[in-house]
Amino acid sequence: MSDQEPLRVAHLIGSTGMYGAERWILAQLRYLDRRRCRASIINLVDAPGETSALVAEALKLGYEAQDFYTGGRFNPLGVLRLAKMLRHSGVAVLHAHGFKSDVMGLLAGRLAGVNVVSTPHGWSKEKDKKLALYEGLGKLSLRFVDHVCPLSQSLYDGLVADKIQPSKMTLILNGVDIREIDETPVKAKSKDKKRIGYIGQFIERKNLDDLVEAFFLLKRNDCELYLIGDGPCRESIVCLVAARGQGGIFCPGYVADRLAHLKGFDVFVLPSLLEGIPRCIMEAQAAGVPVVATDIEGVRDLVQNDKTGLLVPPRNPAALAQAIERILESPELAAQLAKAGRAQIEEHFSAAKMAAEYEHLYLSLTTKVTKDADGLPTDIPPAKAQRR
């Protein structure tokens, strides 16, 4: 690569919708210095069809992106075709997201002679044996990629426990696009109603039943609950709401202007049982919305109880309702939590900061750099190239 040519980076993912990892990639692309790094997206699809949501959104924003037909789940011929494409496009760093991308990316990357980086976004820990097998293969592949970048301290610690060498890991904290949030207008709403909200996937581990139950326990006529998003559990939530016969709960499905809705919330609630590092909380804090969430790993990286939000025990709708009530009844507490949450995002979790750290990493993997006494590249801030 000459001094004038930007480094070619390709993000590899198997996306089925616009969720946390997808928005992570788009945020990083926005803030990478295009004079130094030229990044694109390759989305793995098992069957040909319409353009995926991620690729469509990336193209709309002016980024290079394409769906790549694998020929079926872990098809060896797909690996060969991907390796050929990487060689022909001049990719120097392949950045994988997710267990399927980790495995396929590692194999194709080695065949193509490119550096392979992985960012684990968390694991399901659900009881599906097939999924557990695939995720196990993904974790195994992390031992052989060139570098692993967990996006939270809890994920870093988990990888150390899984025998991933700290010398090949860099903790680069997740980041959100603060500018995008600030530029988004607030969705209009009734001044007579307090709006409690959730935005994200409707899947079992999000435990949305507890949030619905907590809303019923509030017994307030001046509140409404917005559950925004889609997924396999959405129908059961809609049925639960209908069975209770109580108004004030809305499930509009996927919405394109989620940030406009988010900025209109009086409280953001995440009742999850398991998280990596929840991007939805980061966006809520960046938007100045006070947060109530369950006291679990991942969430604790973002929410310090009574400082940057309120934490409650998992599977406890009564405690969830009490925490929501505290915020609704105290504008002073709401403002305090919102201010502290926003300050935390600006200091530690901005997309601009995250992209700058990845840019240093990409360049260090593909160029000879001077290293310090600890073996770390001198052009990477030491505090970012090791555990916090």
Distances (CA, A) of 72 to 69, 77, 130: 8, 9, 16
What is the distance between the alpha carbons of residues 89 and 102, in angstroms, rounded to a whole number?
Answer: 20
Between 3.40.718.10, 2.60.120.260, 3.40.50.720, 3.40.50.2000, what CATH number should domain 7-175+350-384 receive?
3.40.50.2000
Strand pairing report for 64-69 and 249-253: unpaired
Task: Give me the pLDDT at residue 133, please.
Answer: 75
Q: Of the candidates 279, 313, 282, which has an alpha carbon nearest to the alpha carbon of residue 296?
A: 313
The Cα angle at residue 45 between residues 352 and 118, in degrees rounded to 5: 40
Task: Give me the pLDDT at residue 125, please.
Answer: 59
Does the global pTM surpass 0.75? yes
Residue type, 145: V
Task: Give me the pLDDT at residue 321, please.
Answer: 98
Domain extents in the chain: 7-175+350-384, 181-347
Q: What is the CATH number of domain 181-347?
A: 3.40.50.2000
Spell out the per-residue pLDDT of the chain, length 388, in tens. 445 689 999 999 999 999 889 999 999 999 999 999 999 999 999 988 899 999 999 999 999 999 999 987 778 899 999 999 999 999 999 999 999 999 999 999 999 999 999 999 876 655 567 767 777 888 899 999 999 999 988 889 989 999 999 999 999 999 999 999 999 999 988 889 999 999 999 999 999 999 999 999 998 999 999 999 999 999 999 999 999 877 899 999 999 999 999 999 999 999 999 988 899 999 999 999 999 999 999 899 999 999 999 999 999 999 999 999 999 999 999 999 999 999 999 999 999 999 999 999 999 999 854 444 444 444 444 333 333 3
How many Å from the N-terminal Cα to the C-terminal Cα in the chain? 33
DSSP secondary-structure letter at 309?
Answer: B
Tally of CB atoms within 10 A around 180: 16
Asked if 338 and 290 count as a contact pair (C-beta separation under 8 A), the reply is yes
Fold match flag (7-175+350-384 vs 181-347)? yes
Task: Give me the pLDDT at residue 382, please.
Answer: 36
